[in-house]
Amino acid sequence: MERVSITAYKREATGKGVARSLRRNGELPAVLYRAGKSESIKIPQAEFVKLLKKTKGENILVNLQFPEGNRLAVIKDYQLDPVTGELLHTDFQEVLLTETVRVTVKVITKGIPKGVKEQGGILQHALRELEIEALPDKIPGHIEVDVSDLAVGQSIHVSDLKLGEGIKILTDREEVIATVTAPVVEEVAPAAPAPEITEPEVIKKGKKEETEEGKK
């Protein structure tokens, strides 16, 4: 897994007011978790934004460079303002290279299924994240699933994945990752029968009068 270094500092003060003050000064409030304990820290916001743009949601190892020494971690979560999109907070999970860690990995598909190209089917990408357990250096940035051979009605399940030695899949193995469904055929409603055209009564009356006049 790729490693990226970020400057980090411990912080004593907490709370919403402190967090707002940090962000105004270009710093991002964060929490570092380890063995059920948490530690309040702060990191340069610009560095974290750059990291997110570079990784695009993939897993990486973050080398937190504290003045007293470096600590290795993975990004556990981060929060954005729902209106402005501003980064509000992030969580890190400290890891050791000798201990396995549980993480969620993004699942992406590769290729165009033959069921789509040849049969007009529709690819359904059902599972977009997978939970795994592995040593930090074994964690993949993402998991790529080749769907090229899928025909209509066929699926790829979690149990079909082969992630390599040392990676344990924790997600239910029966979960469907991707499937190709048959194209939707719209039913055409039967045409309504044409209405029976009847001669207006006024015309019938006129014909009758004409006939009576002819008799005279």
Tell me the mean pLDDT per 10 residues along the chain, length 216. Answer: 88 86 93 91 93 83 94 92 90 94 93 94 95 93 94 96 93 96 73 62 50 49
**CA–CA distance, 173 with 44 (Å, rounded to integer):** 40
Task: Show Cβ contacts of residue 80 under 8 Å, excluding neighbours closer than 6 positions.
Answer: 86, 87, 88
Of 17, 21, 29, nearest to 78 (Cα)? 29
pTM of model > 0.85? no
Model pLDDT, residue 201: 55
Per-residue burial over 64-81, b if 16 or more Cβ lie within 10 Å, else e, is beeeeeebbbbbbeeeee
- Give domain status of residue 211, yes or no: no
CATH number, position 171: 2.170.120.20
**Containing domain of residue 16, as a range?**
3-95
- Give domain status of residue 166, yes or no: yes
Say how many domains are in the chain.
2
CATH number, position 19: 2.40.240.10
The domain boundary residue, chosen from 74, 95, 116: 95
Tokens at 200, concatenated? 């207006």
**CA–CA distance, 186 with 201 (Å, rounded to integer):** 43
